[in-house]
Amino acid sequence: MDIPKVHYSVLLGFLEILDDLGGKSDVAGIASKQGLELDDLLPILESGEMLGLIQVTAGDVSITEKGHLFIVASPKVQKKMLRDVVINLDTFKKLVDLVKRSEKGRISKDEVLEFVSNQDVATQSPDGDGSNEFDWIVEWGRQALILNYDANEESISIRQR
């Protein structure tokens, strides 16, 4: 599924570190300086590229113009920028459409898990139940001000602007 699989705060911290390094560094160097394994860094790099905030080429990572604008923006502007990108990811387009077509204007966690299970099986988590993807959908949907999650009802609705 085309959703970031790293916490928002981790990605933001990585962007700030990269910016402090002049906007470009080799991946191995960042991993070493930050005490990270390359396996820990891969989801950060994939997520940053997916959102257009960084570019990885031949072992080097650089912050994009959009990434630089993102980290210098106010938190309110960051949320708007994030929303503009996340809402256009295929997974979120389909999920928003599913919620809009629902009778109640919200869908249950079980419906989201069914939605996840109907996506490309190759991209599902090793546990196969979609729960990790559900957590990422909720996190990024909320961070990007797209979704509301009601933990009591375990349901997702579209956030009203």
- The DSSP string of 64-130 is -HHHHHHHHS-HHHHHHHHHHHHTTSHHHHHHHHHHHHSSSSEEEHHHHHHHHHTS-GGGS-TTSSS
The contacts of residue 72 (CB under 8 Å, 6+ apart) are: none
How many Cβ atoms are within 10 Å of 161's Cβ, its own excluded? Answer: 6
Tens of pLDDT, residues 57-68: 999 999 999 999
| Residues 4/140, Cβ–Cβ less than 8 Å | yes
pLDDT at 123: 47
Tens of pLDDT, residues 105-146: 999 999 999 998 887 644 444 555 567 899 999 999 999 999
- Nearest partner of 55 among 88, 15, 17, judged by Cα: 15
pLDDT at 94: 94
Tens of pLDDT, residues 23-53: 999 999 898 888 888 888 999 999 999 999 9
pLDDT at 36: 86
* Residue 4 DSSP class: -
Q: What residues are paired with 25 via a beta bridge?
A: 61
CA separation for the pair 72, 105 (Å, rounded):
35
Out of 3.40.50.1110, 1.20.1440.230, 1.10.10.10, 3.30.1360.170, select the CATH number for domain 8-72. 1.10.10.10
What's the pLDDT band for 161 if we cut at 50, 70, 90? Answer: confident
* Residue 96 scores a pLDDT above 60: yes
| Residues 138/149, Cβ–Cβ less than 8 Å | yes
pLDDT at 120: 60
What's the pLDDT band for 150 if we cut at 50, 70, 90? Answer: very high
- Domain ranges for the chain: 8-72, 75-158
